[in-house]
């Protein structure tokens, strides 16, 4: 069996996520702040050199942060001397869409949907809990219908602090114990935690009603373990779903290339 080494890079709003795949197997992941570009370049360059024995190699990037991704790709191409593939431009995302004609969904949402559909092959809800929270629906034919976008946990806390005179500056944490917030900080944490979980429950119910069947629910993103690890409606917690979506996009592109050659 031939060996494909893929370095998948997802450039987010604040952090860059780097994964090394061997064929379809996720071997390693690293998360680095966007402004530490030298470390990102060092990691990708080292991974590229380490994969020299592979039959085929590729570097593919998805981004919701055009400025940081362009700067990173420029440096990587100079360092490695190979073309960097941009998902969405050079590589299509293998997922159907049923959206308004003018809609431009984030590439991260489409890749999450593609990875979930590739793994499940059935209708599903994909929750991504990070800087923002997205809750999207994919039907039983593998078509992405969109969903909802809301502020993430930390963004909500930051907004309350900056938008008022009296609310404190907090880092998000899971509230424990009784349901009552008996001080300001506790009340804020509970409002954010239960608000996001309640939104997820409501949207899952709305999607199930519209689809007339209850879909599987997949959660991903940096805050997903804290928010949904004990949630009875969430069937799977899947780390690095967007990076897995990049691998799916590369696999589909290679398969189409081989078919075209034949």
Cβ neighbors of 205 (< 8 A, separation 6 or more) are: none
pLDDT tens digit string along 204-256?
A: 999 999 999 999 999 999 999 999 999 999 999 998 999 999 999 999 998 87
Res 262: pLDDT: 45
**For the chain, what are the domain ranges?**
4-86, 96-243
Q: What class, spelled out in words, does domain 96-243 have in CATH?
A: alpha beta
Q: How many CB atoms are located within 10 Å of the residue 203 CB?
A: 19
pLDDT tens digit string along 42-59?
A: 999 999 999 999 999 999
Q: What is the largest CA-CA distance in the chain?
A: 68
Mean pLDDT (whole number) for 102-122: 97
Q: What band does 1 get if pLDDT is binned at 50, 70 and 90?
A: low
pLDDT tens digit string along 134-147?
A: 999 999 999 999 99
Matching fold, domains 4-86 and 96-243: yes
Q: What is the mean pLDDT of the chain?
A: 94
Residues labelled catalytic: 108
pLDDT tens digit string along 53-102?
A: 999 999 999 999 999 999 999 999 999 998 999 999 999 999 999 999 99
Whether the predicted pLDDT of 16 surpasses 90: yes
Q: What band does 2 get if pLDDT is binned at 50, 70 and 90?
A: confident
Percent of the chain with pLDDT over 90: 93
Res 257: pLDDT: 60
Res 13: pLDDT: 87
- What kind of architecture, by CATH, is found in domain 4-86? 2-Layer Sandwich (3.30)
Q: What band does 33 get if pLDDT is binned at 50, 70 and 90?
A: very high
Whether the predicted pLDDT of 259 surpasses 60: no
HSE-CB of 36 using CA atoms within 13 angstroms: 13
87 in Cβ contact with 112 (< 8 Å): no
């Amino acid at each position: 069996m031939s060996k494909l080494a893929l370095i998948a890079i997802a450039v987010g709003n604040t952090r860059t996520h780097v994964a090394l795949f061997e064929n379809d197997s996720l071997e390693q992941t690293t998360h680095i702040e966007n402004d530490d570009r030298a470390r990102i370049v060092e990691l990708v360059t080292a991974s590229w050199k380490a994969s020299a024995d592979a039959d085929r190699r590729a570097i593919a990037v998805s981004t919701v942060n055009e400025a940081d991704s362009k700067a990173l790709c420029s440096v990587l191409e100079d360092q490695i001397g190979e073309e960097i593939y941009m998902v969405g431009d050079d590589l299509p995302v293998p997922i159907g869409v049923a959206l308004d004609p003018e809609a431009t969904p984030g590439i991260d949402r489409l890749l999450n949907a593609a990875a979930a559909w590739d793994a499940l092959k059935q209708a599903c809800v994909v929750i991504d809990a990070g800087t923002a929270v997205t809750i999207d629906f994919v039907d039983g034919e593998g078509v992405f219908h969109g969903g909802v976008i809301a502020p993430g946990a930390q963004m909500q806390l930051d907004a309350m602090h900056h938008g008022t005179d009296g609310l404190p500056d907090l880092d998000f944490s899971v509230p424990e114990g009784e349901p009552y917030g008996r001080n300001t900080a506790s009340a804020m944490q509970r409002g954010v935690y239960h608000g996001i979980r309640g939104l997820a429950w409501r949207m899952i119910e709305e999607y199930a009603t519209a689809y007339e069947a209850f879909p599987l629910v997949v959660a991903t993103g940096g805050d997903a373990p804290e928010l949904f690890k004990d949630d009875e409606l969430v069937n799977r917690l899947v780390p690095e779903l967007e990076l897995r979506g990049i691998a799916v996009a590369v696999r589909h592109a290679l398969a189409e290339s081989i078919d075209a050659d034949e």
